[in-house]
Structure 1
Amino acid sequence: MPQNRSIDYSVLELAVVGQDIPHHKVFENSVELARLAEDLGYKRFWLAEHHNMVSIASTATTVLMSHIASKTDHIRIGSGGIMLPNHSPLIVAEQFGTLGSLYPDRIDMGLGRAPGTDQVTAHAIRSDRMNSVFKFPHEIDEIQKYFRNDKATTKVRATVAEGVKIPMYILGSSTDSAHVAAQKGLPYVFASHFAPAQLFQAMEIYYREFQPSEYLDEPYSIAGINVVASDSMEEAEKISTSSLRMMVGVLTGNLDYLQKPEEMTAELREVRENPALQRMLQYAFVGDKAHVKDKTEDFLKQTGVDEVIVASHIYHQEDRLKSFRIFSEIMEEINQPTEANIKLP
């Protein structure tokens, strides 16, 4: 696919907990992946927020962000994202202000309005969260005010955040947050890696309604994909059985640890063809380098996004690192200038 611009590529990490893998090892694996991503040219390493899920350890998102930032040198570390209705805007500003001072020009703040868990757990986190959901745009404004160095106009201050530069990103899996991101002139990130249904509608709204702001002159979009890349189609299929069974668990409410991969059976292929699973995994690219490259090029051409962020639920760490290596090679090739867009002197 001829490119007249370079497409950035990033990592979305959920610190997935595999069967028989203790949490300390999960976090060690996250650090190892972040270091590799930094070496391979990934732009960001974002950590999601989820609660009450045995298979996901990215619960204390800002704590894990700080740990990984301390173990890397220059890759941007961010939240993909902080689920704002779970938190007080003041506390969010204080936490990210602290991170921004500890790791200058390296911290991203991604904010979403989903709970990142089931409703019972969401209520346990913050009993008034539904009020906060409806106040999502207002709470974004609150956080931005805490970061402004304007101490004369407010009695409540997040002093550690004042004057600290932290880019803010609005996350969404439906059209709602597209309106918010556009109206506030902020970058927009769509969760097409697990909720692709409204991707194109949301992006159309975002670009059509975008209003330039002090933060952003032009729209900037990021979309998520799942990638399992390996040396052969057969090996990638086998590795993907772990994430396939994990997604089935999400759909059925039978959540469990990420399981070890197994051979792709006729029964698993039949499960993979389930319409609900097909919809969820529309942008799950599983295969060898050539296949994943074709799928990625097509995705970038169709969406026109500025950046792609990659999730990859793979049981064995060596397979996961290989997948991210292969994907970085794919993006380097996609971004390689071609004859069509090289201007001769």
Structure 2
Amino acid sequence: MKSNIPYSILELATVSQGETPGDSFEKALDLAQKAETAGYHRFWLAEHHNMKSIASSATSVLIGHIASGTKKIRVGSGGIMLPNHSPLIIAEQFGTLGRLYPDRIDLGLGRAPGTDQTTAHAIRSDRMQSVYRFPDEVNQIQQYFSADNETSTVRATVAEGVNVPLYILGSSTDSAHLAAKNGLPYAFASHFAPGQLMEALSIYHNEFEPSEQLEEPYTIACVNVIAADTNEEAEQLSTSLIKMMLGVMTNNIDYMQPPTAMTPDLKELAMSPAFQRMLKYAFIGDKADVKRKTKEFINATQVDELMVVSHIYNHEARLKSYETFAEIMQELMSMEA
């Protein structure tokens, strides 16, 4: 197993039943502060729209909120769905963040809508044209951040020369080709789309071309983690995740629901082929069980960094899960030292 693997968090600012988006912002900041203490490397926020259970829609604004309340943990987007936006505006937003919080801001870019097609059209009516232009728009952002852009007719002056590294996000093999060609780090959404993970990693490594930002390939993979004192407790906590994923699959998205007993119906749902495909990399259990699954995943993928997301209703239980995972990673790294 690789040694010294950074571990990071993907946050959606999930809104639990009976709470408000403001509550989720407070909890996200509390999590980021505790993650910083626990040794997490970065804290990324994902862009989603028209989902009452997810409050990270104004992603760059929330990144500023998290960065202002922390001191050293890297904060960024996992990701900004670029076809929803003007590349110039994104460069200006993240250039501003990069100046406010030097050497702490990441710009992860994806091409998915982060919502349903009707909402995507409401966000940007020419979005599909922008999807096809995604590689070119990534290049535009790189140009806006370049110090050489000062001679261009169109400038994002606040971004020029600012150190905000770009990352390409993906859930299929398409993004692997782009990340490799541009010599950018590659983050794969294996927490909900695991099917093409291994193929995408292979493509990225085989086609990687060094760039000014990156000399060698760098990969991040995201997994679901629900760690608790016992397997039974973790299984109960996971019922919130099962209900959430059912809402996503049936387009009936609701607030994060409190956990319940693992009923036969929920167990059958969790074992269905659709759920098994989507949650292949959901590490649910006590510390020993999650540690074993984590080690197996790192050995199988050889990723350079592991990112985790924990969909848990109770804030204290979620904090405990992330604390346990930090202990797991520290123990695994000490074994390899």
TM range (shorter): over 0.9
Alignment equivalent of 2:209, drawn from 189, 208, 211: 211
Whole-angstrom distance in 1 between the partners of 2:269 and 2:146 = 51
Deviation at 1:52? 0.4
* Pairing partner for 1:302 from 272, 295, 300: 300
Kindly indicate whether residue 19 of structure 2 is the aligned counterpart of residue 10 of structure 1.
no
Q: How many residues align?
A: 337
Cα separation, 2, equivalents of 1:163 and 1:104: 12
Which letter does structure 1 place at the counterpart of 2:22? H
Which residue pairs with 1:35 in the alignment? 33
2:122 aligned residue: 124
Query: What secondary structure, in the 3-state scheme, does the structure 1 residue paired with 2:277 have?
Result: helix
Kindly provide the CA deviation profile for residues 248-293 of structure 1, in whole angstroms up to 9, marking residues without a partner as x: 1101111111101111111110111111111000001110000000
- Report the Cα offset of residue 154 of structure 1: 1.5
Match of 1:290 in 2: 288
Alpha-carbon offset, residue 337 of structure 1: 3.8
2: CA distance, partners of 1:142 / 1:265: 51
Are the equivalent residues in 1 in contact too, given 2:150–2:157 (CA < 8 A)?
no
Q: Is the 8 A contact 2:2 2:302 kept in 1?
A: no
Matched ranges for 1:211-290 at <5 A: 211-290=209-288
Q: Deviations over 1:189-218 (max 9, x none)?
A: 000000000000100000000000111000
CA distance 1:210–1:22, change in 2 (3 Å): same
Please tell me whether residue 67 in structure 1 is matched to residue 65 in structure 2.
yes
Give the counterpart letter for 1:132 in structure 2: S
Q: Aligned equivalents of 2:297 and 2:175: distance in 1? A: 21
Please tell me the residue identity of whatever aligns with 1:322.
K
SS of 2:152 mapped into structure 1: coil
Instruction: Measure the CA separation in 1 of the matches of 2:118 and 2:8.
Output: 32
Contact 2:15 2:23 in 1 (8 A): no
**Alpha-carbon shift at residue 22 of structure 1 (Å):** 1.3
- In structure 2, what residue type is equivalent to 1:54? K
Q: 2:154 aligns with which of 153, 156, 172?
A: 156
Unaligned runs of 5+ in 2: none
Determine the structure 2 residue equivalent to 1:167. Answer: 165
Q: Residues 70-81 of structure 1 correspond to what in structure 2 (within 5 A)?
A: 70-81=68-79
Structure 1 residue 153: Cα displacement: 3.6
CA–CA separation in structure 2 for the residues paired with 1:22 and 1:213: 43
- Give the 3-state SS of the residue equivalent to 2:195 in structure 1: coil
Which ranges of 4 or more aligned residues in structure 1 deviate by more than 2 Å? 150-153
Q: Which residue of the partner structure matches residue 45 of structure 1?
A: 43
Identity of aligned residues (%): 64
Residue in 2 that maps onto 1:200? 198
Kindly provide the CA deviation profile for residues 50-81 of structure 1, in whole angstroms up to 9, marking residues without a partner as x: 00011100000000000010000000000000
* 1:5 positional shift: 2.0
Residues 1:318 and 2:316 are matched in the alignment: yes
Distance 1:161 1:81 in 2: 18
The normalised TM-score by structure 1 is 0.96
CA distance in 1, matches of 2:150, 2:268: 63
The CA deviation string for residues 90-131 of structure 1, in whole angstroms up to 9 with x for no partner, is 000000000000000000000000000000000000111111
Output the CA distance in 1 between the equivalents of 2:278 and 2:56: 21
Query: 1:126-172: CA deviations, max 9, x gaps?
Result: 11111111111100110011111224541110010011011100000
Which SS does the other structure have where 1:259 is aligned?
coil
Structure 1 19/144 Cα, relative in aligned 2: closer, same or farther at 3 Å? same
Q: Does 1:58 align with 2:56?
A: yes
Q: Distance in 2 between matches of 1:306 and 1:71?
A: 27
Q: For the residues of structure 2 that align with 1:337 and 1:225, how far apart are their CA atoms? A: 22
Letter in structure 2 aligned against 1:218: E
Q: Give the Å deviation of 1:24.
A: 1.2
Q: RMSD in angstroms over aligned alpha carbons?
A: 0.9
Amino acid at match of 1:87: H
> 1:22 is matched with which residue?
20
Rounded to whole Å, the distance in 2 between the matches of 1:134 and 1:201 is 22
Match of 1:90?
88
Residues 150 and 160 of structure 2 are in contact (CA less than 8 Å); yes or no, is this contact kept in structure 1? no
- Structure 1 distance, partners of 2:50, 2:149, is 38
Letter in 2 for 1:15: A
Structure 1 residue 6, shift from structure 2 partner:
1.1
